[in-house]
Amino acid sequence: MKLVILGGGFGGLKLARNLSNKPGIDITLIDRFNYHQFQPLFYQVATAGLDASNISFPIRKVFQKAKNVHFRLAEVKKILTVDKKILTDIGSFDYDVLVIATGADTNFFGNQQLIDHAFPMKSTVEALQLRHRLLHNFEDALNAKDANDHNLLSRLMTIVIVGGGPTGVELSGAIADMKRYQLPKDYPELDFSQMKIYLLEGTAKTLAAMSEKSSADSRKYLEQLGVTVMTNSILKNYDGEKASLQNGETIDTSLVIWAAGIKGNVPEGISSDLVAKGNRVKVDRQCKVAGIRDVYAIGDVAYMEEPAWPNGHPQVAPVAMQQADMLASNLRRLQMKSGKAQFLDFAYHDKGSMATVGRNLAVVDVPKPKLHFRGFFAWMIWMGLHLMLILGVKNRFFVFSNWLYNYFTYDQNLRLIFKEFYREKLDRIESGSGMSKLEKPVETKKTVPVPQA
């Protein structure tokens, strides 16, 4: 069986690992990055809590001992389902079975102003660009203070996070901890009592997918940390200096972080008739794409309905990994030509959900038995679980070391601004290299001047 997997995220990587060194299966794993990204900790990279290398792991290293797994660094252009062929920027690949595990990307809902000016955080590169902008704003705030430009100073020290899900809540708490512990030591000339952090959520509560207790606790913790939580508030537009809300209110800010929506990365070649809400590919209970022979989809890009989840599964890592386990078992049955055997149907086993809000603060929900934890104990559970899920002993060691150092010193040594990295990105934009907008560092003339040679 010639198996091609598109995407090295949680689902694609899990599937390839389950089938590595299995006789009769030849696997080609294709991804546009040569590393696996641990997405739950992107916010810590963006807030200088962790280095990008701590949460990234080379895909080739994962499969050094796998004789049947071949990795290719490529960008998928189109899937030719009739010819059972995949077109990429490095050539074409034939397949017997194709698994789409391309994950999800930021959904700006077609708002061009937000695309141009707001910062997403769905990749390591975007987390680094956000860190650059966050830190550079405080450097610019010093110049605004010296120039007595109070309007500019206020904008530079105001941060708006859009989206009250786990990403928005964790990012808001991390920035609030920076404001409390690190930034006043780095910038003693600035008055951080004037720094404002807003969290905008379109529904009536934060962490809407979790329990009522977790929603209430998360909001209480954020407000204790100094975050202004605005529920039932929808961001309408942002021009780089002013965030306009749907209710007519405005917030002057030089930094808007968008964590309010995601959409599936559906490759070209999949009919629009097979795409459901959220840009996700419709699949059956065995992850087969409807109407296409030998094509499957798992993870964030797949839309599956089951009795317990009539509106589709949540787009989280456990769903992708459980689907990969089920699909690996079914593909083994298929490869061994046991066609009469009963193939497994997928049923998601929700083991719980959690979110950290700040130092010593987190919330955890366990569905069976129904339990709720909060505060320090929940924070310890959150750290322990995430530490176990990170790939590589070395990465776990460095993440744990960074957390330990930060806990006892209330500080971190990763607040670095790489100007050459940033200038290279700007040069590529100006030269029209075709870099996607989601990769672009956002340039605002008043707040982030292009570094001079």
Query: Cα–chain-centroid distance for residue 109?
Result: 17
**Cis peptide bond N-terminal to 314, omega within 30:** no
What's the confidence (pLDDT) of residue 439? 42
What's the confidence (pLDDT) of residue 431? 54
**Tokens read off for 204:** 């009536």
Q: Which of 430, 386, 364 is nearest to 207 (CA)?
A: 364
Angle at 48 between CA 265 and CA 122, to 5 degrees: 5
Domains and CATH numbers, the chain: 2-32+74-106+262-335 (3.50.50.60), 112-260+353-439 (3.50.50.100)
Q: Which of 395, 335, 438 is nearest to 18 (CA)?
A: 335
AA letter at 379: W
Q: Which of 95, 96, 98, 91 is nearest to 74 (CA)?
A: 91
Q: How many CB atoms lie within 10 A of CB 442?
A: 19
Given the structure tokens 């859009």, which residue do they identify?
162
CB 344 within 8 A of CB 326: yes
Using one digit for the tens of pLDDT, what is the confidence trace for 238-258?
A: 999 999 999 999 999 999 999
CA distance 241 to 444: 9
Q: Give the CA-trace dihedral at 417, 418, 421, 425, to 10 degrees.
A: 20
Angle at 439 between CA 401 and CA 264, to 5 degrees: 90
CA distance 353 to 54: 23
CA distance 55 to 61: 14
Angle at 345 between CA 343 and CA 350, to 5 degrees: 145
What's the confidence (pLDDT) of residue 338? 57
Given the structure tokens 């994962």, which residue do they identify?
62
CA distance 159 to 195: 8
Given the structure tokens 């490869």, which residue do they identify?
335
**Tokens read off for 61:** 């290293």
**Tokens read off for 362:** 């987190």
Supply the DSSP symbol for 153. Answer: H
Q: Is 237 in a helix, a strand, or coil?
A: strand
Q: Which of 56, 74, 104 is nearest to 4 (CA)?
A: 74
Using one digit for the tens of pLDDT, what is the confidence trace for 194-228?
A: 999 999 999 999 999 999 999 999 999 999 999 99
CA distances from 368 to 259, 349, 350, 365 (A): 29, 10, 9, 9
Supply the DSSP symbol for 90. Answer: T
AA letter at 9: G
What is the phi/psi pair of residue 34, to 5°? -95, 20
Q: Which of 65, 79, 81 is nearest to 30 (CA)?
A: 79
Given the structure tokens 């966050």, which residue do they identify?
134
Segments of the chain with pLDDT less than 50: 425-426, 429-430, 432-453
**Tokens read off for 236:** 């309408």
What's the confidence (pLDDT) of residue 343? 86
pTM for the whole structure: 0.88
What's the confidence (pLDDT) of residue 423? 53
What's the confidence (pLDDT) of residue 339? 54
Q: Is 166 in a helix, a strand, or coil?
A: helix
What is the phi/psi pair of residue 269, to 5°? 115, -15
What's the confidence (pLDDT) of residue 164? 93
For 59, left (φ over 0), alpha (ψ -120 to 50), or beta?
A: alpha
Query: Cα–chain-centroid distance for residue 315?
Result: 11
